[in-house]
Structure 1
Amino acid sequence: MGLKGDHEQRVQDALGYDAPAQLNEEKWARLIDDFAERIDWDRWPYLTANLMDPAGPTLRNTDRKRLADLRDWLITRVWPEGHDRLRQLLDGIRQVINDLLLILERDYEDGPIAGESVRLRRNYKDLRTWDPPEYQRLLDDYMYKMGLINDLVLELTRFSNAICDVVRQDIDGNFRFDEGALIVLNGPTMRLEMEILRPEFRPKDFPDGGHPYPGLEEFEQERFNRDVSLGERRSN
């Protein structure tokens, strides 16, 4: 029946028949069903593994288009009344998607198979003459951007887990209950091991009346206050 159909019956049981309230709840259930299909959490391990690749953050063109379409879909929604927490989180995840795509679109090269994917441009390989200080500067810049992309992937996962939590709390207690929380694989680490990360927001991450993402410029510093961060501060 889907989230919308299940939710309609619960709303009727809880509210009796309040037509405007039920209509809003039905709209929210339909929006969440649509959002979940578009973000495709079932493929989360594949999407995040490519973006967290130690050889360089990579994004398949199909995933790139899907994320861009999701961003545009979110910004054009007509939101029903109610569920303010959920609406804030959906706005936050849209901003994170936008900034992640912005970094890659601003500084990318073809991936391993031209025309199928893009990856963060390795500027340090573009030097035509050997210049150790310039090489190190470009390498440091690349490593910084790679760490920032990794931390944006973690932030995207935090928002995803928070959205699922709020849907379970406010709309459908069984929403993605069997699938569990979304995780990210990091590695191989210095010990040649794969690390399982479960990024989640803590109460202190939420500002009053808003969502946790402060925008890209502030996030470059705020990310180090999250539950986990993989990037490094920019060297002077």
Structure 2
Amino acid sequence: MGFSQKTLKMLWGRAAGRCSMPDCRTALVMDATETDDQALVGENCHIVAEEDAGPRGDKLFPVSSRNVYGNLILLCANHHTQIDKQADYYTREFLHKTKLEHEEWVAGSLGLDKEKQADDEYYSGLIDNWEQKAELEYWDSWSSWLVSEQPKMSEERYDELVQLARWISSRVWPARYPQIEKAFENFRLVLRDFLRTFSSKSEARMDDKVLQTRRFYKIDVWDEEQHSYLVKKYTYHNTLLADLILELTRSANFICDQVRKSLTRSYRLKEGALTIGHDPLLEHSLDEIQPKYLQIEIGQFAHPYPGLEDFITVRGSRSFHYGNGPLIDSERTKT
């Protein structure tokens, strides 16, 4: 189990990014890419060990409380090693007292901006919730099913995405980081149009709780011209869905980029960018691609995603795409 973004923001912000030991207080960095000196990489140290057998371990201490702010202290690598090797001296009580005194020193000596710290923690909590609700950890697993000859997803996932769109709409934003807020609204707009497009032609499978695109080109009375048109329309619908799920992946990566720029520089660097299974022919052999906005696309409209009508027109210029423009007028003569 890792640390939430809110936990890290609380720990690092309140400690001012410094080692908590009073004889040290060295300024630290969160990620090894930010320095060439490993001793300056801060470590999120457990007061009660994460594992029962670890330093200051306690099998009665709740597992759910082991990776939260109250059980952590920020230290440099040297002092982390020291407290774990001498656990009998560096007791739980000693470390809690040291942490408290360090945070009091930060507030009194460094002038901690409490309002900014509160906003940073609030944003970080929202990002944690978004990560979980959007299932970033399993993004490729569920999204790749939507890039296929017959797009599909579970009813449960569809309902979760509907709730995610509503959740984003109802958030209260502090207006401290407008680019993060813009990125979330962009994601919501893409998600809304994707869900509407998917549901417009979806049906529930008979044997399980899965929604899939209805094969609406199948007709009761044979009409070659009508069938040919409906096949084109079906293909158009599926490529539009594929382009929208690519756009949703772009918009999720855009959120991550803005979080790194404004709030937490190391956000999801270890996990990397979100990818999606890409099938050039909408068949079954998938390659992983990383959809991201180009710089020109970010500033082209109020949001990188211009709305469904304009997106249909411009999607062919995206770095990865399946369709190109709307269904041409001459193909709309049959319904």
Which of 36, 40, 44 matches 2:131?
A: 36
State the alpha-carbon separation in 1 of the partners of residues 237 and 127 from structure 2. 32
Alignment check: 8 A CA contact 1:124 1:139 kept:
yes
Give yes or no for the alignment of 1:139 onto 2:139.
no
1:107 aligns with 2:201: yes
User: Measured at CA, do residues 105 and 142 of structure 1 come closer, stay the same or move farther in structure 2, by a change above 3 Å?
Assistant: same
Residues 1:21 and 2:116 aligned together: yes
Residue 182 (str. 1) matches residue 274 (str. 2): yes
Q: Structure 1 residues 4, 105: CA separation in 2 closer, same or farther (over 3 Å shift)?
A: same
> How far 1:77 sits from its partner (Å)?
0.5
Which residue of 2 is the match for residue 211 of structure 1? 303
Per-residue deviation, 1:190? 8.6
Paired residue for 1:6?
Answer: 8
Residue 157 of structure 2 is matched in structure 1 by 63
TM-score (norm 1): 0.91
- Matches of 2:309 and 2:182 in 1, distance apart? 19
Whether the aligned pair in 2 keeps the contact of 1:7 and 1:171 (CA below 8 Å) is no
Residue 209 of structure 2 corresponds to residue 116 of structure 1: yes
Structure 1 unmatched runs, 5+: none
- Against the structure 1 CA distance between its residues 96 and 183, is the aligned structure 2 distance closer, same or farther, given a 3 Å change threshold? same
CA distance in 2, matches of 1:96, 1:191: 25
**1:2 corresponds to which letter in structure 2?**
S
Shift of 1:224: 1.2
Structure 1 residue 16, shift from structure 2 partner? 3.4
Map of 2:79 onto structure 1: none
Greater CA deviation, 16-25 or 191-200? Answer: 191-200
> How far apart in 2 are the matches of 1:129 and 1:161?
46
- The amino acid across from 1:226 in the alignment is R
One-letter amino acid of the counterpart of residue 48, structure 1 = S
Deviation at 1:24, TM superposition (A): 1.1
Is 2:248 the counterpart of 1:156? yes
Structure showing the higher helix proportion among its residues: 1
* Cα distance change of structure 1 residues 86 and 190 upon mapping to structure 2, 3 Å threshold: closer
Contact 1:162 1:200 in 2 (8 A): yes
User: Is the CA contact 2:259–2:265 (under 8 Å) kept in the aligned structure 1?
Assistant: yes
For residue 41 of structure 1, report the CA deviation from its aligned partner: 0.7
- Unpaired segments of 5 or more residues in structure 2? 18-109, 331-335
Secondary structure of 2:217's counterpart equals helix
Residue-pair matches, total: 233
One-letter code of the match for 2:194? L
CA distance in 2, matches of 1:188, 1:204: 25
The alignment's TM-score, normalised by the length of structure 2, stands at 0.65
Compare 83-92 and 4-13 and name the one that shifted more: 4-13
Q: Percent identity?
A: 28
How far residue 208 of structure 1 moved from its aligned partner, in angstroms, is: 6.3
Partner of residue 96, structure 1: 190
SS state of the match for residue 59, structure 1? strand
Shift of 1:164: 1.2
User: Is this contact kept in 2: 1:58–1:117, CA < 8 A?
Assistant: yes
Structure 1 pair 209/105, CA: closer, same or farther in 2 (3 Å)? Answer: closer
User: What's the secondary structure of 2:261's corresponding residue?
Assistant: helix
Task: Answer whether contact 2:314 2:324 (CA < 8 A) is retained.
Answer: no
Deviation track 1:92-151 (CA, whole Å, cap 9, x = no partner) reads 11111111111122221223x5451111121111x1111010001111111101000000
| Partner Cα separation in structure 1 for residue 118 and residue 302 of structure 2 | 25
Deviation larger for 75-84 or 226-235: 226-235
Aligned-residue Cα RMSD (Å) equals 2.1
Contact 2:147 2:278 in 1 (8 A): yes
1:210/1:139 Cα in 2 relative to 1: closer, same or farther (>3 Å)? same
- In structure 2, what is the Cα distance between the partners aligned to 1:143 and 1:119? 14
Q: Larger deviation: 182-191 or 199-208?
A: 182-191
Shift of 1:75: 0.3
> What is residue 53 of structure 1 aligned with on the other side?
148
8 Å CA contact retained: 1:11, 1:22: yes
**100-109 vs 212-221, greater mean Cα deviation:** 100-109
